Amino acid sequence: MRFQRALCLGLLGFLSQGHVLAHILSKRTFWEDGMVEWPQKPTVQLKDIKNMKDIHLGHPVYKAEVEGFGTVAYKHWNTGLSKDLAYRLVGAEVEAYRAIEGKSIGPKFLAIVEKDGRPVGILLELIDDADALGEGDLESCVNKLKALHKQGVLYGDDLASSQFLKKHGNFWLIDYEWAHPPGKDQSKEETEAEMEREVAVLREWWA
């Protein structure tokens, strides 16, 4: 799934119009309900990120040094993406992190990273040297997903152990680029069914 998504994102980087991009951009986003169109968050320029080292989380994520932030995790998006798609993907993550702020669900959000006036990634709290996940960690991961749902956020992507980090008995859910609130016309029952489906997908993967 992650290979397919990476391939899809590579293709979308060359598509500034057409039905594929239109489908992605048609997904409901957090800022359609009166939130600010692009939240005012700290910004860092890509050129100011130093000493990047790939930490192999399945997505281009780097351990890096940034003045004023220290050692951080930098999640990078393809700089060739269209501006609309860049805002859609990075924006989804930023808004998801805002929804879960202070809830100990995901790593702490620190800043938006920009290049030439467009978002190309985000800075996050670094959770270094994470422990390997085992069979006994399923319920902790399920509980973390349910905590996300309680904040009104659907994960929006296939779930596997690679979306979780564990360290010293603590768990974090990561990768929110496809996260979104329930659909505008979606009933409470439909929303609950979608949340249950996400939990079932995670359990099925673990089985």
* pLDDT tens, residue by residue, 70-87: 999 999 887 777 777 777
Pair of tokens at residue 146 = 């349910």
Q: What is the pTM of this model?
A: 0.78
Long-range contact pairs involving 32-38 (C-beta distance under 8 Å, separation at least 24): 32/184, 33/181, 35/95, 38/87, 38/91
pLDDT tens figures, 140-158: 999 999 999 999 999 988 8
| Cβ burial 97-120 (10 Å sphere, 16+ → b, else e) | bebbeeeebbbbbbbbbbeeeebb
Return the C-alpha torsion angle 29, 44, 126, 4, nearest 10: 50
Three-class SS of residue 42?
coil
Does 35 have pLDDT greater than 50? Answer: no
Instruction: Find where tokens 């859910």 sit.
Output: 173
Give the residue extent of every domain in the chain: 2-124, 135-206
Mean pLDDT of 108-127: 89
Q: How distant, in Å, are the alpha carbons of 41, 139, 140, 174, 202 from that of 135? A: 38, 9, 11, 19, 12
- Give residue 9's pLDDT: 39
Domain 135-206 falls in which CATH fold?
Transferase(Phosphotransferase); domain 1 (1.10.510)
The answer regarding whether domain 2-124 maps to CATH 3.30.200.20 reads: yes
Domains 2-124 and 135-206 share a fold: no
pLDDT tens figures, 1-31: 433 443 343 433 333 333 333 333 444 444 4
Choose the weakest-confidence range: 39-48, 96-105, 156-165, 184-193: 39-48
Q: Which of 105, 121, 104 is nearest to 41 (CA)?
A: 121
- Give residue 41's pLDDT: 66
Q: Considering the chain, what is the average pLDDT of its residues? A: 79
